[in-house]
Amino acid sequence: MTSPSPDQATDSLQQALAAEHAAIWAYGLAGAFLPPASDPALAKGSEAHTARRDATITLVKKAGATPKSAEPGYSTPQPLTNQSSAFVLLVSAEADAAAAWRSVLEHTTDPALRKTALDALTDAAVRAMTWRQTAGQTPSTPPLPGQP
């Protein structure tokens, strides 16, 4: 088995950063379609992704790369028209973040970076499960979060 290269780890971090940018955008957009009772969970999720984005920017810079910027907008898994589609967007954003952080795990042997990636994957999987449960989706979590 070949050890991952530093470039692979940096590329994976860049993908995780892109997923964090997209999640922040998704939380802002979904909030327009959810009832006020969802505001605390939306704020908590957005704050978590913002903190993770900022920490990831620092990691990318430490790796000697220029962090990817946020896009002006992102695609949604379906047209966003109501509460149900807003839940689908949030679950999708969390699933994408989990998959991106799983990729970081696969592309580094650095213990600190692996812990960061595992924590991020776990956090995204838990938030996705919470949004699925709130929306009444089943199953509430896939067998292996972060898998395609």
Other beta carbons within 10 angstroms of residue 104's beta carbon come to 28
The answer to whether residues 63 and 8 touch, using CB atoms and an 8 Å cutoff, is no
**Dihedrals φ, ψ of 44, to 5°?**
-65, -45
What residue spans of 31-148 are helical by DSSP H? 39-62, 83-106, 111-135
d(CA 130, CA 21): 20
pLDDT in tens, the chain (148 residues): 566 677 899 999 999 999 999 999 999 999 999 999 999 999 999 999 999 999 999 999 999 999 999 999 999 999 999 999 999 999 999 999 999 999 999 999 999 999 999 999 999 999 999 999 999 998 888 887 877 6
Give all domains of the chain, ordered by start, each with its CATH number.
6-63+79-135 (1.20.1260.10)
Cα atoms found within 13 Å of the Cα of residue 57, Cβ hemisphere only: 11
> 124: closest CA among 91, 85, 148?
91
d(CA 9, CA 135): 35
pLDDT for the residue numbered 126 = 96
